[in-house]
Structure 1
Amino acid sequence: MRQDLTVNLVASLLAFAVGWLGRALVHYYRTRMPAGRVWRLDRDRRVVMVVGESGGASSAYPKIPETDALAAMNLRQFLSQDLRLHEAATVRARAFAMASDAEENLVVIGGPLHNDVWRLMADRLDAPYEFRRFPTDHRIVCVETGEEYGESDLDRSTLVDHAIVLLARNPFAARSRLVMIAGCALLATSGATQLFARGEIRALAKAYDTKSPLALVVRVESIGGYVRPPVVVAAANFAQAPAARTAPATRP
């Protein structure tokens, strides 16, 4: 009887181990692997999220656009859930320090109107899509064809906005990642971050070559306050110049 009990116990432990290993493998291949393929972080470096500041900000009372703050919160959550990365610093564009932050994994949130770091990085990427300022708004423009994407009201209850998502190497550190996300108006910046949610990032990793720098134009639609999942309406890989050499960063 004792021998039978031992055999049953060993069999139960083996079944538990096989089941746990199976679930872990499924989670890895369905979640961590596609997330890792899209994020491509240098795990030896920090993740620094740089958010914009509104025109009414002051050094004493900085004001961060609500959509930028929400976008940063979403991305921190996705990194924690899918890559087990629980620490990501968030800094205002004005507080971004080249000496300590330039070579980290950078996530730049908010376009050139509110975030000077966007302009700093975009000028070094030569991406196929870019923000351009028009008399009344900012729009995303295809450099080659001139096609424009912006904000529009389809009817009284339906609002459409577009965002740029750029996945590239950090121009100041070849092993580090640069992710840039910004909408033309308020809706798309936070809405576009849903591309990094668990199901969407799996589709993103499958559909596009994320080994090479990638530019995406994302459509975000709100119907009566309900924001639909983002849709990629244009995409292109692009060449990127070698990373610039910078002075050694002062690590915290």
Structure 2
Amino acid sequence: MIDEILSGVSGNLFSGAIAFVFGLLARRAWSRWTKTRPAGQLWGVLREKRVELVLTTAPESSPRENSSLVFPSEAIAGGEVSSYLTNMLKVECRTRLSGTFPSTSWNRNLIVIGGPVHNNVTRILLSRLDAGVEFDGHAIVLADGRRFQAETTVDERGVTAPIADFGLVIRLPNPFSSKQHVTLLIGSNTHGCLIAARAMLHENVKLSSRAVAGKESFCLLATAHVVSGEVQQVQVVESWVPGSALRGAAAFPVEGPAGLREAISATDNSAT
């Protein structure tokens, strides 16, 4: 009798332990899924688990603005994006520089950090995409004519320093491959690139996901304060869906390596 009771108790404890462990694992899996799925949709990496991350090759004429070959804020943005994609979303992320970007990689899933002034990859892609936004020097100009540009101040030593900047996220089909996408993280100034990146990371994922409402193609405009060189309080201020993804010759498919090289060369010549 006692043996039967003990056996029943042991069985119930064992079943309860299994149910507890299963419930704990299920809750963790659900929690991770609810965090990663919106981010995966935002970055477009739910199915494609490999991306090419392209950083701007900084001009050698700006020694005080660049660290090695990359602008500091853009290097931080690249590190944060790469870490997030690799650790949170389990994406293989290969980092390259715009100045040495190979022609064989243009038709892949691209994330490009840097504006068209210094980043030739951004410049070429923008010339083949219709994102409903233009650039006038460092100013971001929307289709309705509104202009957004970094705000600066001059300190007592006469040094110009940014106090606010704007970041722009453009996510559209890759003009060199209809099966892939490009995500451009652009700033009015170099801090804006970091603002654009952070609008797509961590606590901002949910807000940005709501702003784009699950669309695969979208644009986000974000702003933030810059205090002592640090980006603070990123906020998305505008979002829109481009009416037409491809512009001009980009509407025609590019086939094969030779066709890809020819299309890139033609676009680069027209953009410069």
Give the TM-score taking structure 1 as reference length.
Answer: 0.85
Identity of aligned residues (%): 23
Q: 1:95 maps to what in 2?
A: 100
CA distance in 1, matches of 2:214, 2:128: 19
| Cα offset, 1:127, TM superposition | 1.1
Other structure's SS at 1:90 match = strand
Which of 238, 244, 252 is residue 253 of structure 2 equivalent to?
244
Q: CA-to-partner distance for each residue in 1:153-190, whole Å, 9 max, x for gaps?
A: 37969701112110111112222121101212132211
1:84 matches 2:90: yes
Identify which range, 36-45 or 71-80, moves more after superposition. Answer: 36-45
Q: Which runs of 5+ in 1 are unaligned?
A: none
Q: CA-to-partner distance for each residue in 1:56-84, whole Å, 9 max, x for gaps?
A: 18xxx971212221111010122124312
Q: Taking structure 1 as reference, are residues 16 and 212 closer, same or farther at Cα in structure 2, changes over 3 Å only?
A: closer
1:151 matches 2:153: no
CA contact (8 A) 1:42 1:105 kept: no
Other structure's SS at 1:190 match = helix
Q: Taking structure 1 as reference, are residues 62 and 155 closer, same or farther at Cα in structure 2, changes over 3 Å only?
A: closer
What is the number of residues matched between the two proteins? 238
CA contact (8 A) 2:114 2:190 kept: no
Q: Taking structure 1 as reference, are residues 225 and 91 closer, same or farther at Cα in structure 2, changes over 3 Å only?
A: closer
Other structure's SS at 2:69 match = coil
Q: 1:139 maps to what in 2?
A: 139
Q: How does 1:83-232 map to 2 (within 5 A)?
A: 83-85=89-91, 87-99=92-104, 101-133=105-137, 138-142=138-142, 144-153=143-152, 159-224=163-228, 227-232=231-236
CA distance in 2, matches of 1:129, 1:202: 24
| Cα offset, 1:228, TM superposition | 1.9
CA contact (8 A) 2:112 2:184 kept: yes
Q: CA RMSD in A?
A: 2.5
Other structure's SS at 1:229 match = strand
Q: CA-to-partner distance for each residue in 1:4-24, whole Å, 9 max, x for gaps?
A: 213211211111101210221
CA distance in 1, matches of 2:162, 2:60: 29
| Cα offset, 1:26, TM superposition | 2.3
CA distance in 2, matches of 1:218, 1:39: 16
Q: Which runs of 5+ in 2 are unaligned?
A: 1-5, 62-66, 156-160, 259-272
Give the TM-score taking structure 2 as reference length.
Answer: 0.79
Q: 1:16 maps to what in 2?
A: 21
Structure whose CA Rg is larger: 2
| Cα offset, 1:117, TM superposition | 0.3
CA distance in 1, matches of 2:214, 2:125: 19
Q: Taking structure 1 as reference, are residues 243 and 78 closer, same or farther at Cα in structure 2, changes over 3 Å only?
A: farther
CA distance in 2, matches of 1:50, 1:210: 25
| Cα offset, 1:122, TM superposition | 0.5
